[in-house]
Chain A
Amino acid sequence: TQLLEQSPQFLSIQEGENLTVYCNSSSVFSSLQWYRQEPGEGPVLLVTVVTGGEVKKLKRLTFQFGDARKDSSLHITAAQPGDTGLYLCAGPPLNNAGNMLTFGGGTRLMVKP
């Protein structure tokens, strides 16, 4: 079973601070996705990283895929209260023909004004 471990599990910061959350595995993934989930809602896809070493930016969010495609990070610059939510990484298991995803346990972020 390919597992994804996320750290930290919880993060509480002040508005304007920077933060990084991590998603690690001992297995190689062909791609990794990052989702944000707000209370009472389903996860919403933020980005998909496919190539080892790839960096993608989405406004104040920077996503990186590790060179060996076993890990990924999400960096948020100047966090805002609207960034509050559960951040989930997910990837398709190897040798899986469909598009099922394995999810990490999530990082719950709270940004205080």
Chain B
Amino acid sequence: DAGVTQSPTHLIKTRGQQVTLRCSPKSGHDTVSWYQQALGQGPQFIFQYYEEEERQRGNFPDRFSGHQFPNYSSELNVNALLLGDSALYLCASSLFMRGTALHFGNGTRLTVT
């Protein structure tokens, strides 16, 4: 039973570029959440997708957008990259119900130069 898989594992981009990160949830899960983890800090919630709709959003600008596909996989898009967007981007899958456990992938390390 595959867990949460994310691709790519590492990515280097230049300021102003756009990036797309991908996530496949754990089998049986219907909800995907994205978190940003800056170096030396705890993860910060970006947004959550369920039934192909954004259900909740954290304090992130509109440059951050996402999508969920019918097979529950998800993409995170970031436009007009800034140096401060350099971080580990974590995808977590779960069931939508409150209180269910999150299962995290190993993340995508994004470096913006």
Contacts and interface: CB of A to CB of B under 8 A. Distances in A.
Nearest to A44: B104
A99 B42 contact: no
Interface in A57-107: 88, 90, 92, 96-106
Interface in B79-113: 90, 92, 94, 96-107
Interface of B: 4, 31, 33, 35, 40-45, 48, 50, 55-56, 58, 90, 92, 94, 96-107
A45 B102 contact: yes
Contacts of B90: 42-43
Nearest to B96: A98
A101 B105 CA distance: 16
A88 B43 contact: yes
A108 B33 CA distance: 24
B102 A103 contact: no
Given A43-B104, A98-B56, A31 B99 contact: yes
Interface range, A side: 20 to 34
B107 to A, nearest CB: 6
B38 to A, nearest CB: 10
Given A42-B90, A42-B104, A44-B104, A98 B42 contact: no
B107 A42 contact: yes
A66 B96 CA distance: 27
B55 A98 contact: yes
